[in-house]
Amino acid sequence: VDPQYKLIRIDSICTPDKEWYLLEMRSLGNVLIRGFYGKPVKPGKYPAILHVQGYGSTMIPQWGYQGNDMVSLVLNIRGHGNSRDNIDPGFRGDPGYLLYQIHDKEMYIYRGAYMDCRRAVDFLFSRPEVDNTRMVVEGGSQGGALTFATAALNNDRITVAVPNVPFLSDFPDYFRCANWPGNEFAGYVKDHPEIGWEKVYETLSYIDIKNLAPWIKCPVLMGVGLVDETCPPHINFAAYNQLSVPKEYIVYPESGHSIPAEFGNRRMEFIRKYFGMK
């Protein structure tokens, strides 16, 4: 797919140190996706940080790294935020995002979502101001799953990965230990007996981060909320335990699906360590 990258400067949020742009590009299926790109004003080569998003959220420039020592890309995958032009199943009802094209592994929405992340990496590698030897992907919940997937499917290009409370892992066990999203899939199978659980699990196996994790080649830091009922530690570690790279995890014993802001500081320390930055 021809990426057709397009950058539109957003004067209202540019600063003396960093310029921000609306990014438009084409991904799998020629789907139009968007994000926000921030680059330091001072000429040079900079490390890049790709921010990927939680389920149903809308990414905005303010959620990206604001410092002037890294390039920032805040991505809205298909069906999220300002990337709904071509695919917009919403997040409730049948099919809804999780169930969209679940009957066909080639057309399942998360195949496209994972390729949207890969296209974002393609974009970063196309930029003359990006140091392509220092590239990190990070995100929480669905963004944690997208972090695993991006690091796995771009394992020759991602330098560091920092997922927290990752989603989309170890599905058969996941559906036994958490009410949602298993209840959506159970309702779907009940309404579509011609599809059945076997087909659902077959499709999900291709996007299960537990299955993708062994492909990752970069260091990983994972944050975990011990009382998370949405993405329980069981599924976080199902993927983490498949990693054979330098890895660390931080458990927050009293946290659920939202871990403390302190993890953001730990994340940046981890990134800077592997980037050789102060």
Residues designated as active site: 141, 228, 257
DSSP character at residue 132: E
SS3 content of the chain, % helix, strand, coil (to 5): 35, 25, 40
Find all residues with CB under 8 Å of 65, minimum gap 6, and list them: 38, 49, 51, 72
Question: SS3 for 107?
Answer: coil
State the first-to-last Cα distance of the chain, in angstroms, to the nearest integer. 39
CA–CA gap between residue 113 and residue 215 (Å, rounded): 18
Closest CA to 136 of 116, 157, 119, 153: 157
The CA-atom distances, in angstroms, between 233 and each of 54, 240, 253, 256 are 17, 10, 11, 10
CA–CA gap between residue 270 and residue 207 (Å, rounded): 27
Find all residues with CB under 8 Å of 139, minimum gap 6, and list them: 51, 52, 53, 54, 146, 147, 163, 164
Exposed/middle/buried for 104, CB within 10 Å: 0-12, 13-18, 19+?
exposed
